[in-house]
Amino acid sequence: MKIRVTPRGAARLLAHHPWVYKSDVLEGPNSPGLYPVQSTKGVLGLALYNPVSEITVRVFSFTDAGRPQEVLLENLRKALQRRKAAIAQEPVGGYRLVHAEGDLVPALVLDYYAGHGVLQVGSAALEPLTSELTEVIRAEIPLQSLLARNDQKSRSLEGLPLQIKPLLSQVPDSVMVREASIQYRVDLQEGQKTGAFIDQRDNRIRLQAFKGKTALDVFSYHGSFALHLAQGFEQVMAVDSSAVALRRALENAQANGLTNITPKEANAFEFLREEEKRGAHYDLIVLDPPAFAKGKRDVERAYAAYKEINLRAMKLLLSGGILATASCSHHLSEPLFYQMLAEAAADAHRTVRVVEKRSQGWDHPVLLNVPETHYLKFAILEIV
């Protein structure tokens, strides 16, 4: 059985974008699975298919050579092999082993935390292959345990249940992960996402280069940037709205022998407004908010929210101060992100120099054909 798509769907696949939406599928099987895709022009590739999902077709090979399941598992194997050297160098580090479409294994995320794997399956076509996927993972990467953290809300769009279950051995509640000169505890079972935000790893390490008196880590999660900043700054405040995450921020500070991190539970918008009101000043501020734009229709509102926090941060910084600011929403494109920052600088009446434009870590690969894979923007800016 094959999937047949419209000329518009075919044009996307010919441009090597892997998704075809429901409205561009002319006919296909009744149940989810791995199938060849074709149009009147011939075969376009091999895909994960789910007739109930809005993203009905997710291509993992742009030819029809090979048996679909074997090709998919080979893509997985190659993704794991690309990370092997990094794991061998730092076995107790944190890495993304599989970055879904970015690794041509659509809808699959696998993160590695010091020898423990956390898997997220986001397609009903992939779910029945969980044991085959686990076998390949086991064969390629030495893992002490593997957990399926299938509790992401997007699974309901695929008609999949939300569940968390161990796939290999007994999974610990948490593990310590090393990141350059610091270590932090990852809550595997209940932490946000798969337990941590590995995409910012290299950006966190990069900020170790800065020194000063006061730093602010806003949207800190479990003290992530703060732990690195506490080595070069006298006082660091870690701000987040999650009391649970901040409790771990304090434990993480203690685990690193750091006594200069102050956790602060607050809504970042209110906190920054209050700081401005009381005339506070800082040498460095990190802003790493959650994705404000979850869909295209949110972009305008999200733009205003990003601008508000960046404008306030620019006002709070001393001359020569550093703003390290991020957006993880792929709906806010890189040009829009920098336009928003330029408007914030103008409205704050500050001259702002771009020190460095950065992005997500190397283990979150970007496909030029798939703009959605480039989601993280990270700017290091200097207030002149």
Q: What's the CA angle centered on 143, arms 95 and 108, to 5 degrees? A: 55
Which residue type occupies 321? G
Question: Could you say whether residue 221 binds ligand SAM (CB under 6 A)?
Answer: yes
**Considering only residues 295-334, where is the footprint of ligand SAM by CB under 6 A?**
328
Of 211 and 273, nearer to ligand SAM (C-beta) is: 273
Q: What's the CA angle centered on 144, arms 139 and 149, to 5 degrees? A: 90
Question: Could you say whether residue 40 binds ligand SAM (CB under 6 A)?
Answer: no
Which of 44, 79, 323, 328 is labelled catalytic? 328
Of 242 and 262, nearer to ligand SAM (C-beta) is: 242
Among 168, 290, 358, 372, binds ligand SAM (CB under 6 A): 290
Q: What is the 3 state secondary structure string of 243-276?
A: HHHHHHHHHHHHHCCCCCEEEEECCHHHHHHHHH
Among 242, 260, 262, 339, binds ligand SAM (CB under 6 A): 242
Respond yes or no: is residue 328 known to be catalytic: yes
What does the DSSP 8-state code read for residue 370?
A: B
For the chain, list the strands marked E by DSSP: 3-5, 19-21, 25-27, 33-39, 42-49, 55-61, 94-99, 108-113, 116-121, 145-150, 163-168, 174-179, 182-187, 212-218, 233-240, 261-265, 282-287, 317-327, 352-359, 377-383
Among 123, 200, 310, 327, binds ligand SAM (CB under 6 A): 200
What does the DSSP 8-state code read for residue 219?
A: S
Of 58 and 248, nearer to ligand SAM (C-beta) is: 248
Quick note: the x/- pattern for ligand SAM over 245-274, rule CB under 6 A, is x---------------------xxx-----
Of 210 and 221, nearer to ligand SAM (C-beta) is: 221
- Residues within the interface to ligand SAM (CB under 6 A): 192, 196-197, 200, 219-221, 224-225, 240-242, 245, 267-269, 288-290, 328
Residues tagged active-site:
328
